[in-house]
Chains A and B, each alone.
Chain A
Amino acid sequence: MTSGTAAHLMPLAIAVPVLVACLMVAAGSRLPHHVLDLLGVATSLTVCALAAVVLTRSADGRVVTWNGDWRPKRGVSVGIPLVADSLSAGTALLIAGLMSCALLYSWRYYSPVRGYYHALMLLFLAGMEGFVLSGDLFDMFVFFELMGIAAYALTGLKIEDPTAVQGGLNFGIVNSLGAYFSLAGIGVLYARHGQLGLAPLGQRLTEHRADALTVVALVVIVTCFLVKAAVVPFHFWLPDAHAVAPAPVCVLFSGVMVELGLYGAFRVFWTVFGSAVPHDDIRGAFLPAGVLTAVVGALMCFAQSHLKRMLAYSTIAHVGLFTTGLATLTPEGTAGVALYAAAHAGVKSALFLLVGVILARHGHVDELKLHGCGRDARFVSWLYFAAGAALAGLPPFGTALGKSVTEEALTRAGHPWGPAVFVAVSALTGGAVLRAGFRIYLGAGPAPDAGGPVAIAAQTTGIEEHRETEQLSRTPRTMYAAVLLLLAGGLAVGVLPGAGRAFDHAAEGFTDPRGYAAAVLFGTAPAVGSPHHESTWTAQGVVLGCVSTAAAVLLAAAAVRAPRAPDARRARLRPFLRSLAAVRALHSGHVGDYAAWLLFGMTALAALVGVLPVDG
């Protein structure tokens, strides 16, 4: 198979799910449930196969196809290219893989309501694939919106649940507002350079000195990506949406949609602005943003008793870590984050599905009220604890490898505080998940009716969460299969030989705008430079992974026993708890607040990047 054939497959990864969704709509209510399930899984597996072929071809150089056959002449074209380097093809594969698992999990147990759920999932798939493969700024906006519209509808799908629709609305309004500002940014950039393609824009910008307009365009354009990525203070919509969306939808949200936001931001930065905007300006903005996001996410995660909200905040915390790693603007940092994100997708998705199993059995997801409810579920509890430990960074899970590589990249880039932040955040998020596991599966700590902690009514608890399936007497095998597949994926990233090298290669291509432009505009495929660093297990990484896991277990144990702690010790914690409550109060569920934070965030980001150009 030539790379030409692989290039032909890229548009199909977008078109095939759309066509099947059309078929589902046209068939209306006549398709029986199992046919819908079968079509959904088969379509996502087809897209998996397409992405896998593109991925293998992209190892030898970027795969490019020009839609409408508008191939560039002398480096200019009116068309839109789809471009796959190893990172985008790998992400495309991850998207389709997660979608397959999500649809496998929902096999037969999600009420199909005329195929709405399945059709929306497939459109969501098409939107994400289009976004990740597109090589054009406006086209990215279009697929961003497609992804968005499917996501809003999927969030609000449980219309019987009063919180669901509100979560969907907050998500929709904040994301759309961010997208419109970004579109204005695209307009500004277009006015100056008359281009929309990433590669031609990048070429134009190498010829111009970065001025205020360039920096403003950068800040405004990445805003919508940062909203999607839930970087503080653009993150407020995420826990609302995750808390209410059906569990398989959360898999896609946390596993890959949020990460696509970061992908978009850094793809645009590298290909368009990489040569024009000083890299130190970007580091100066994104390192603090990443650390703030990680810390806020981790603290909020530990404070939750609503299991899905807990996982949602843990996603925010991890996005913060990813942002920090990408902000080193080095191939090592990028490789580490790619590894980390791929493994995180498997682990976090498995956790969401396990919470979905709990919801299906018990009808709510409140950690405190579920006390001891899972004592009989041996097998599930093992899966849950494995996923929780993996989230905390237990080797040999891929999360630990990604964490270790990113930590080292930060240290090498002159940020010795990096590993400390990574260990603390992993311990807090993993600790929260393990704490819930101790309470639910081991019945640790006092029961809520025996003087144990009770949920605070002023905050969202998981008690009102509505079931999304019929009540299950026993959990169907397809659900376990999906969870096992996801966990195995998270493990595979860490243990497969050569995984590290593949990610190094992908990161090398991602951070090479010149090679990108050459491949897209001139069809030349310069071999991606061989990485000068190999991502692999190191003694330090293993030790730090074990440390963060141990810290997570200790934190979880301490939290379970906290109500019995002596008053004196609790008094010492009081100022900390008070400030945590203040941060919690900011997450108000009020869409006006979120919009105000969005504008504030844009201003803050611009101030950090420094709009006025620095000479030199």
Chain B
Amino acid sequence: MNLYAYGVAGWLLLVGAFGVVRSANLVHAVVSLSVAQSGTYVLLLCVGYQRAAGAPVFGSTLRPSTRVTDPVVQAMTLTDIVVSATVTALLLATAVQVHKQQGTVDPNRLSALKG
């Protein structure tokens, strides 16, 4: 169990990279990139996890003296998610343009840039 969660994170990173490498469609490549990034979410959240600790939001049921999971990695993950969403949007817009210009989004058939 110890390594399982970390393993998931590593797997997501690599499988996302695999998607980019094997992609026959730029939209698929961009989404694969998001898969790779979700590996970083899993990793960060795992790093901050503590057994039997509460969420780092205090209130009437959870007093500030109680142990909570690491809020810093959660904040980092939130930032990371926003970055991912915006990068994805921008790259998808680029893919749309590629399709408009070259009539295909298959990287195997794009041949404008060589050598």
Residue numbers of A with Cβ under 8 A of B are 138, 142, 145, 148-149, 152-153, 156, 159, 161-163, 165-170, 172-173, 176-177, 180-181, 183-184, 187-188, 190-191, 196, 239-240, 243-244, 300, 303-304, 458-460, 464, 584-585, 587-593, 595-596, 598-599
Contacts and interface: CB of A to CB of B under 8 A. Distances in A.
Contact of A460 (B47, B76, B87, B112): B112
A348 to B, nearest CB: 21
Of listed A152, A156, A180, A460, residue having the most chain B CB within 10 A: A180
17 contacts: A142-B79, A149-B86, A161-B101, A166-B98, A173-B20, A183-B40, A183-B44, A187-B44, A460-B112, A460-B114, A585-B115, A588-B114, A589-B113, A591-B23, A592-B22, A592-B29, A595-B17
Of listed A159, A303, A585, residue having the most chain B CB within 10 A: A159
B114 A152 contact: no
B102 A162 contact: yes
A165 B29 contact: no
B91 A152 contact: yes
A172 B47 contact: no
A247 to B, nearest CB: 18
Contacts of A166: 98, 102, 110, 112-113
Contact of A169 (B73, B91, B114): B91
A589 B83 CA distance: 25
Interface in B53-78: 72-73, 76
Given A162-B101, A170-B113, 4 more contacts: A165-B101, A183-B40, A590-B108, A590-B110
B33 A173 contact: yes
Contacts of A153: 90
B36 A589 contact: no
B113 A167 contact: yes
A86 to B, nearest CB: 30
Interface of B: 9-10, 13, 16-17, 20-23, 26, 29-30, 33, 36-37, 39-40, 43-44, 47, 72-73, 76, 79-80, 83, 86-87, 90-91, 94-95, 97-98, 100-102, 107-108, 110-115
B18 to A, nearest CB: 9
Contact of B87 (A162, A165, A172): A172
Given A153-B90, A180-B37, A191 B47 contact: yes
A180 B112 contact: no
Nearest to A192: B47
Contact of A589 (B43, B87, B114): B114
Contacts of B94: 152, 156, 165, 168-169, 172
User: Which 6 A-B residue pairings sit nearest by Cβ, starting from the closest?
Assistant: A459-B115, A589-B113, A162-B101, A163-B112, A165-B97, A595-B20
B115 A460 contact: yes
Contacts of B39: 180, 184
B112 A173 contact: no
Of listed A142, A162, A304, residue having the most chain B CB within 10 A: A162
Contacts of B98: 162, 165-166, 169
Nearest to B36: A180
A190 B97 CA distance: 39
Contacts of A239: 113
B90 A172 contact: yes
Given A165-B97, A173-B30, A584-B115, A145 B20 contact: no
Contacts of B86: 149
A459 B114 CA distance: 5
B21 A190 contact: no
Contacts of B91: 152, 169, 172-173, 176
B28 to A, nearest CB: 11
B13 A180 contact: yes
Contact of B97 (A156, A176, A596): A156
A596 B22 CA distance: 9
Given A142-B83, A165-B98, A599-B17, A187 B40 contact: yes
B90 to A, nearest CB: 6
Contacts of B102: 162, 166
A419 B108 CA distance: 41
A422 B17 CA distance: 36
A458 B107 contact: no
A326 B20 CA distance: 32
A172 B108 CA distance: 18
A188 B72 CA distance: 14
Contacts of A459: 114-115
A152 B113 contact: no
A138 B74 CA distance: 13
B108 to A, nearest CB: 7
Of listed A184, A187, A592, residue having the most chain B CB within 10 A: A187
Of listed B43, B79, B86, residue having the most chain A CB within 10 A: B43
Contacts of B37: 176, 180
Contacts of A188: 43
B40 to A, nearest CB: 5
A169 B40 contact: no
Contacts of B110: 166, 589-590
